[in-house]
Structure 1
């Protein structure tokens, strides 16, 4: 069963307490869809399940680093201030520059490191070992794959660890995992809240 690798330096809001069932909501501050669809769903799930389920929001960054950063996240949490494309969307459609919904769940910023730090760590091998049957490949093939992954990430100046190690497809992403960080379900993009509600209810028995 694949593991969820949660790499954060600090919580910006709240306290994450691990439970038998947990939800990580991975989003970007400069991602209108994360605000239109993601945050309201997670707020509702948190309201319904927070006594039995652990919740953590992880603001990440794989593009638009001038907006997707810890400073923008803090502004959002403190005053609802929006930035970039998210601000443009809400201003164009609603005439507002501040998000009217608060994030009710614990929130952290993804661990951000340089490409040099990343490729010289054991985290590249975590990505490779997620490839089905990687351990059974001939040693020369394993080494070749590891080198190719390192060469790829050497071209990216800034690496968001949670987003990258878990090879997420984009934002918003919803990862459900247990108290041993085994991934129980993984969803990307706009999800109907009832799908997530039903999954959590089933896992809670």
Structure 2
């Protein structure tokens, strides 16, 4: 988490399809809530063993009117195996109850949102404050305590 007060607005999400929600989601529509985005790939071992379970915990522990949890399926490898049809089955199998978006394809196999946030890979966890400013962007394993503390700091 950055300690300076010069936070930058979070880049918009470039999502081609949403699951687990009735309409498209924008960061603007989530203003007033802390937004936690778990960027993942179905075939990423760290995503399946740590990132997504952590996102599920955040979704279960914090009130939805205070913290919005989103999944972002950001595919930068193995494209043929990770289609929206496969993702839909994955979401059902892993019982993901929060909205999951498919990151739009970009240039050189790097999806658009992944590029905008300069993500290094998956799993990545993004935290956006209630005003829409990017407050943290973690790559790889991040402890539950750290994420919980970052969210709680923004809420209280």
Return the TM-score normalized by structure 2. Answer: 0.82
- The answer as to whether partners of 1:24 and 1:58 remain within 8 angstroms in 2 is yes
In structure 2, the partner of 1:53 is 67
Show structure 1 runs of 5+ residues with no match.
81-100, 116-155
Out of 138, 148, 153, the residue aligned to residue 197 of structure 1 is 148
Q: Which runs of 4 or more aligned residues in structure 1 lie more than 6 Å from their structure 2 counterparts after TM superposition?
A: none
Q: Which residue of 1 aligns with 2:137?
A: 186
Residue in 1 that maps onto 2:53: 40
Which of these residues, 10, 14, 23, is aligned with residue 21 of structure 2?
14
Hey, what does 1:105 align to over in structure 2?
Answer: 98
Report the equivalent of 1:2: 8
CA deviations over 1:137-158 (Å, ceiling 9, x no partner): xxxxxxxxxxxxxxxxxxx2x3
User: Any idea what the Cα deviations from partners look like across 1:14-39, whole Å, max 9, x if unmatched?
Assistant: 36551431111100111011010011
Q: Is the 8 A contact 1:60 1:68 kept in 2?
A: no
Alignment size in residue pairs = 142
Structure 2: gaps spanning 5 or more residues: 1-6
User: Which structure 2 residues correspond to residues 147-186 of structure 1 after superposition, within 5 A?
Assistant: 156=108, 158-186=109-137
Structure number with the higher helix fraction is 1
CA RMSD of the aligned region, Å? 1.8
SS in 1 for 2:80: coil
After superposition, the C-alpha distances for 1:118-154 in whole angstroms (9 at most, x for unaligned) are xxxxxxxxxxxxxxxxxxxxxxxxxxxxxxxxxxxxx
Task: Report the CA distance between 1:190 and its aligned residue.
Answer: 1.0
Give the Cα–Cα distance (whole angstroms) in 2 for the partners of residues 167 and 69 of structure 1. Answer: 23
Whether the 8 Å CA contact 2:36–2:127 is kept in 1: the answer is yes
- Determine the C-alpha separation between the residues in 1 that align with 2:85 and 2:9: 29
Contact 2:33 2:65 in 1 (8 A): no
Q: Label 1:204 to 1:3 Cα distance change in 2 as closer, same or farther (>3 A).
A: same
Q: Larger C-alpha radius of gyration, 1 or 2?
A: 1
**Match for 2:39 among 16, 20, 26?**
26
